[in-house]
Structure 1
Amino acid sequence: MSFNTSKTDEAVAFAESRLAATVVRGPVSMPTCDARANHCRLPGSDLWFCSYGFPVTLSFGEGTYMRLQIPWTGSGQTSTAGQDVALAPTMACVSSADAKIDFHQGFQQFAWRVPVAMLTRKLAALTGEAIDGPLNFTAALDLQTPNGRALREILSNLANAANNLPGPAGRLVLAELEQALTTSLLVTGTHNYRPILDGPVRGIAPWQVRRAEDFIEAHADDPLTVEDIVTATGASARSVFRAFAEHRGYSPMEFLKRTRLKRARLMAESGLPALTVTEIALSCGYGDLSRFSKDFLAAFGETPSTVLRRHRSVY
């Protein structure tokens, strides 16, 4: 689908009707423009190219998709979840459906709308673990890193394929590139599941590792010690630690910390009005509140109080 108009009122009407946007700030004294939009329906998502030809601010309500904005020329800004991202060809943005976007004069962008469920399925496949909590991205995404440049290149190839490869063969290529873009976003963007995604794959391992992990997950809220974990396996401490190092790349105590932090994140995201950071820390086996906050920040890029406050506001 393609859209072209030289009338600003038609461009505004298009944004409101086809993109479900609300115009917060429209063109001033600009009856004519050069507005263009192209839409490609992919197997599981939607790719848009938008160029309004005039300054405009659009607001989008809550939905079930993530939006990846990759600026092509010019500059703009996206405000979402308390974060402001200055958009440029070197800086993309990942936002939920709830966002306000400023299109400056001459700004052109690709916007990929991908269902959260699709990202979650891909994340589960990549990590081998069930994803049982919300997927939260940091809005800013640097396109100057090696992963960022690769992501931009995949999107460029996807756009070229959409324009030049018709028919069944073209649809197969689009499906493969869509999957590649999904994976690229997950490994490039910063989100709350990156510690799992960046860590070793949890697959086949000796019985000592599996038994220790089962014990840790069942008693993660308790004040566990190395001796407790070793006793539960029935093996020597040296055997347990060597098996973890070889097959996981970290120690049993690191696995305990990761398990506790995942539970703490889920508790904070519940947004329960009476819940406090101290209660979360104690419930997840942390006796030191300062250590808990530092570990949480290192794992997820934000403090537990920030997560709790954000989710409490919509409780």
Structure 2
Amino acid sequence: MTVLLSERSQVFDRADAYAVSNYVNQHVGSHCIRLPPKGRPQASISHRTFSSLDLCRISYGAPVQVTSAALETIYHLQILLPGHCRSAARGDEKIYRTGEVLLINPDDPVDLTYSADCEKFIVKLPVRLLENACLEQHWTLPQQGIRFVAEKHELSSMSGFVPLLSLICHEAENEADAEVGALYERIVAKKLLAMLASNVLRVIPKREEAGGFEAVRQFIEEHLRSEISVEQLMTVARVSERSLYLLFERHVGLSPREYLRQRKLERVHAALQVTTARSVTEVALDHGFAHLGRFSEAYRKRFGELPSQTWRRQRNGCAPGG
């Protein structure tokens, strides 16, 4: 079995198990542990953060039960190195052995019991990373979120995945720059979606059936003088609210409301530069800016001058800066 993370990443070595558990709670995921009533097991942990991923290798040195209500905003990919693990969440019992992989969904309750000789390697992935990877493939995000099928996976069947993790550990330990980290985390997310069964429908919709960002952008341009709600944009894009925010972030780097405000400001700016512009107040109100003080400040930050200055320059026939 490939060793993932070297001694350079070691945080605790043969330490108190509860100290290791506290560290896990801070960096890897909220949980509780139950150890045998007798003895002082010696636990070890190695850990690295790499972009939005957390990489962690843990052994507790004794049989240990790990429980958690749910991880909520993260996925846990766990690889069993030596030893074995029993999963008993939701009454569905499974035994995982050396070289097998389990993936814990964000809403899954956790009830795992590890053997005394067990060592596990964990990759912690934020929900957002998997959803972005799904959008990049132009697959439709399930409204209830991405869920991987609760089944055992043989590491040997996940072609090229261990070498990829080994390379990521190497890059993390050598403090690769943020651009490299972002590239690797996207590769991990895409490989997991490609290799493991999930509820994602891996079909690209036909153009005439697609909603997506272009349909949303066009809708916004046609209705900039109206009040546009997030619910309307969800309907146009045919996605959930969470997926809508991811869609906007991927295409324009803004939330839907920020983008709406920006486009309204740009439309007002254009309107104030034509001779038919009646007054700043009327143009602002036409585009839904009811609070003129806040509008003027937002306009100044966006264009470097007050809207009244733009309007007066147009009325006086002066070029910017003239």
User: Normalising TM by the smaller chain, what interval?
Assistant: 0.5 to 0.7
Count of residues in Structure 1 that have an aligned counterpart in Structure 2: 199
Decide which of 103, 121, 133 is 2:132's aligned counterpart: 121
Aligned pairs for 1:1-315 (under 5 A) are: 2-15=11-24, 19-23=29-33, 25-33=34-42, 35-62=43-70, 63-97=72-106, 98-144=109-155, 146=157, 148-163=158-173, 165-168=174-177, 171-193=178-200, 196-197=201-202, 199=203, 201-202=204-205, 210=208, 213=209
Between the aligned partners of 2:160 and 2:23, the Cα distance in structure 1 is 32
Shift of 1:69: 0.6
* Structure 1 counterpart SS, 2:46: strand
Matched-pair contact (CA < 8 Å) for 2:75–2:127:
yes
Q: Deviations over 1:74-104 (max 9, x none)?
A: 2112333443332223321111243112121
Structure 2 counterpart SS, 1:41? strand
**1:144 Cα offset (Å):** 4.7
Which whole-Å deviations, capped at 9, do the CAs of 1:86-130 have from their partners, x for residues lacking one? 222332111124311212111111111212222112112113435
CA change 1:47–1:9 in 2 (3 A) is closer
Code of the residue aligned with 1:86 in structure 2: it is I
1:131 and 1:125 map into 2 onto residues whose CA distance is 15
Identity %: 18
- Superposed displacement of residue 184, structure 1: 1.1
Quote the residue 1:239 is aligned against: none
In 1, Cα distance between equivalents of 2:14 and 2:141: 46
CA distance in structure 2 between the aligned counterparts of 1:17 and 1:127, rounded to whole angstroms: 34
Is the contact made by 1:78 and 1:102 (CA closer than 8 Å) also made in structure 2? Answer: yes
Assess, with a 3 A threshold, how the Cα gap between structure 1 residues 130 and 99 changes in structure 2: closer, same or farther: closer
Distance 1:61 1:156 in 2: 30
Aligned to 2:308: none
Inter-partner Cα distance in structure 1 for 2:56 and 2:181: 14
Structure 1, gaps ≥5 residues long = 205-209, 215-262, 267-315
Alpha-carbon distance in structure 2 between the residues aligned to 1:76 and 1:129? 34
Deviates more, 1:13-22 or 1:50-59: 13-22
Deviation at 1:151, TM superposition (A): 2.4
Q: Which has the greater radius of gyration?
A: 2
Q: 1:183 to 1:89 in 2, by over 3 A?
A: farther
Cα drift, residue 13 of structure 1: 4.4
* Cα distance between partner residues in 1 of 2:66 and 2:129: 25
Equivalent-residue separation in structure 1 for 2:26 and 2:117 (angstroms): 22
Taking CA–CA contacts closer than 8 Å with sequence separation of 6 or more, which of the two structures ends up with the larger relative contact order?
A: 2
Inter-partner Cα distance in structure 2 for 1:180 and 1:159? 14
Q: Is the 8 A contact 1:83 1:139 kept in 2?
A: no
Question: TM-score under structure 1 normalisation?
Answer: 0.55
Judge which range, 105-114 or 124-133, deviates more.
124-133
Contact 1:8 1:27 in 2 (8 A): no
CA RMSD of aligned residues (A): 2.8
